A = this chain, B = another copy of it.
Amino acid sequence: MRDVAHLAGVSTATVSRVLNNHQHISEDTRSKVISAIEQLDYQLNRVARRLRMERTQILGLIISDIANPFFTSVVRGIEDVAYENEYSLLLCNSDEHPAKEELYIRVLMGEKVAGVIISPTDENSTAAKALIESRIPVVAMDRRLCHLDVDTVIVDNVQGAYDAVAHLIRLGHCRIALIGGPVQITTARERQEGYEKALRNYGLPVDETLVRVGDFKQDSGSCTAGELLALDDPPTAIFAANNLMTLGALNAIHEKGLNIPRDVAIVGFDDMPWAPSLDPPLTTISQPTYDMGRTTADLLLKKIADNNRENVEIKLHPTLIVRRSCGLRVGKEVQTVVVQR
């Protein structure tokens, strides 16, 4: 910057003013500075700027599983908004480990990011509490941070799960299993709530032997599905509470040589681009993932613009997409219902 100032015959202060588009700069010096910048191919040192300004163009992002297409789709939405507003993303993958999450929160605070988006591993995360209390703008995404006053963007999980299970019931299923998620994740609890609500609403009992807890990863889907299918009186349908576990369950069912939906029906939570090409085309609860990312980033940017803004909760709506993994159960017979691919 000194060199630029020198070449343009001005002070570094003036160069800085040009760089930051201040008013009260004569057109003449402005163009001199700009040409000097180009001549020297000068690159602003953003680290120094940050130290001075205490304000960055960087957003921190702590997600719980980068390998999960749900999150990458959300990230894509966030990234697009960030790009449009000239922000960059510092991406952290907590991998569902509270310890990793805590470390990353400390890193982000130390990096003085402008704000952070987090899908917490645990609703009671103490690190998240510290983060919020430090007055850095935060928005919780996909999962709630209970007992904390914080902007939140989620999906109506109760409704989604309800719709999935109600769909199964209307098709004639009455032994419906749940492959749920970790209890410390609000999303998992809410989906279980929707599952139970649907059963109750239709006068069906909640059978504890049909309720399994996975960890939202693929393997746990295979394992729990395997257990369920090995039961003396196995379920006729499975509701899997996230995309990866659905995939695991699907694999397990196929490996047993069972037919979907004849032997067992399945509904997944969260649609994926390949759901229509699965065997059979998978009925799912679709979440507006990309929109969720955009909405979250928009909200964070608003909070950054005005840190005294009141916190809000934005609830997005999932929709049931009927394909062919459920069938129609009439007595002991199962018919395939073709609705859409």
What per-residue 1/0 map shows which CB atoms of A249-286 lie under 8 Å from chain B?
Answer: 01100110000000000000000111011111100000
Enumerate chain B residues within 8 angstroms of A109, measured Cβ to Cβ.
43
30 CB < 8 A contacts A-B = A41-B130, A43-B106, A43-B109, A45-B110, A45-B112, A46-B107, A46-B110, A47-B51, A47-B110, A47-B112, A58-B111, A61-B91, A66-B72, A69-B69, A72-B72, A79-B93, A83-B93, A83-B100, A89-B91, A89-B92, A90-B90, A247-B273, A247-B274, A251-B276, A255-B341, A272-B274, A274-B278, A277-B278, A279-B279, A279-B280
Contacts of A83 in B (CB 8 A): 93, 100
* A92-117 near B? 1/0 per residue, CB < 8 Å: 11000000100010110111100000
Smallest Cβ distance from A279 to chain B, in angstroms? 4
Contact with B along A8-36 (1 / 0, CB 8 A): 00000000000000000000000000000
Interface size class for chain A? 35 or more
Query: What copy number does this chain have within its complex?
Result: 2
Complex Cα distance, B63 from A75, in Å, reads 13
Given A48-B51, A88-B92, 16 additional A-B pairs, CB 8 A = A43-B106, A43-B109, A45-B51, A47-B110, A47-B111, A66-B76, A67-B69, A69-B69, A79-B91, A90-B90, A247-B277, A251-B276, A254-B341, A255-B341, A277-B278, A279-B280
